[in-house]
Amino acid sequence: MFEIIAPTVGESITEVRIGKWLKNTGELVKVGETVLEIESDKATVEVAATSAGVLQILKQAGETVRVGEHIGNIEEGAVPKLATNGHSAATISQQTTTTTLSPAVKKLVDEKNVDTSKVTGTGKAGRVTIGDVLEHLSETVNSTGSAAALKPIPTIQPAATVQPQGATRRVAMSLLRLKIAERLVQAQHTAAILTTFNECDMTAVMALRAKNKDSFKAKYGTSLSFMSFFTKSVVEALKAVPEVNAQIDGKDIVYYDYYDVGIAVGTQRGLVVPVLRNAGNLSFVEIEKAIAELALKARDGKLTIKELSGGTFTISNGGVYGSLLSTPILNPPQSGILGMHKIQERPIAINGQAAVRPMMNLALSYDHRIVDGQGAVTFLIKVKEGIENPEKLSLDF
C-alpha cells in the first residue's frame, strides 16, 4: 500500500488545504495521474500518483492538514471486493452505516429495529438523519396498513414563515485569499504607508508600440506590452532612488543592489505576484518574454513557490480593469509599489497650448519610515521620463 502524504510546498509553509480530489475512493489510478490539488497560501500544487492501484481518501476536500500528514492511500493491485466470510452485503452495509449514525438517530434505529441499509440518507456525505428514519417508518406503515409499531414522536412546529430577502452563500476562503488578507492587514499595521501621484503622457510609447508590435511578435514570438516599458523605467528609477528598493529590518535598513520586480497578476484564485528576477540585468526582449511566461503560468495556476517568493519592489496594473486612480498597498516587507492606471485621453497644456493626449495616472505607495517625500517624487519623475522618452530605455528590438 502506498501512502499519499501532504507535500512540502515551501520552507515556511506548515499547513496546506486539500483543494479537490480528482478521483473518488474506490477508483483505479495510474502512475503519474493527478489525483488531487493542494492549496497553499501562495499557489495550488497538483499531486500525482507514484503507484497504480485503488484510491482510498482519508482527508476530504476543504480540510486543512499539516505538511507530511497522511491523507490517503493507493492499494496496489487492489480491486473492489464483495462481502465474504458468510456475511451478506446488506449486513456489512448495516454495520458500516450504523457506525456513522448520530446518537439520536442510533437510539431511534435501535428502538424501532430499523435496517438502515434500506434507508436513503439525505444528510452530509449520505448520512442517515432522523427525518430519513421517520420517512422510512412512515412508508413501512403505509405499505403494511398497520401503525402499531410506530409510536407518536413529538414534532417541532416551524416558526412563522419569513419571506427571504435574497439568497446567500457561505464559502470558505482559500488559503491564498486568507494569506492575501493577512498580508494586506499586516502592511497597514507595520508600515507608515503614504502615496504620491504623478501622471505620464503615453503618446511616445504608444506610437513606438504600434509601429513595432507586429514585427516584434513575428521575431520574438510574444506580444509587445506596456508592462515591459514600465519595468525598464522602474529599474532606472530604483537605481536613482535606492531607498525604494530597500526594507527595514529591526533598526537597520537593508538595501538591495539587485532588482527583483514583482508583477501583480489577477487570477480566478486571487491576486498573485510572480517575481521577475534580476530585472536590471535583462534586456528588453528578455523582460517581455519573462513577463509573458509568468502571467501565463499565473493564470493556469502553475507558478512555483520560488517564482512567488521574494521580490524587492512591486508593480500593479489596475488599469487593465479600468481603474483611473488608486492607492496600492505595500507588499511586505517591501518599501514601495507602483500603481499603473487606465490610459485616458484628456486635455493638457503643452507649451501654453491645449492638446488632447493619452494620459496615465501613476501612484507610488511607499513606507514613509524609509522613503521621504523627495525620494518618492524623484522616483515617479524618473518613471515618467522613461515612459515619455522610451528611446532612453536601451531598447534592443
CA dist 285 and 212 (Å) reads 13
Write down the catalytic residue from 136, 252, 372, 396. 372
CA dist 325 and 339 (Å) reads 8
Number of H helices, E strands in the chain: 9, 19
| Catalytic residue flag (residue 368) | yes
C-alpha cell recorded at residue 11: 520552507
- Around Cβ 45, how many Cβ atoms within 10 Å? 21
In the chain, the N- to C-terminal Cα span, in Å, equals 57
Tell me how many degrees the CA angle 59-60-64 measures, rounded to the nearest 5. 75
CA dist 245 and 260 (Å) reads 9
In degrees and rounded to multiples of 5, residue 323 shows phi and psi of -70, 130
Write down the catalytic residue from 41, 70, 260, 368. 368
**Exposure pattern of 166-187 as b/e (b: 16+ CB <10 Å)?**
eeeeeeeebbbbebbeebeeeb
| Catalytic residue flag (residue 372) | yes
Catalytic machinery residues = 368, 372
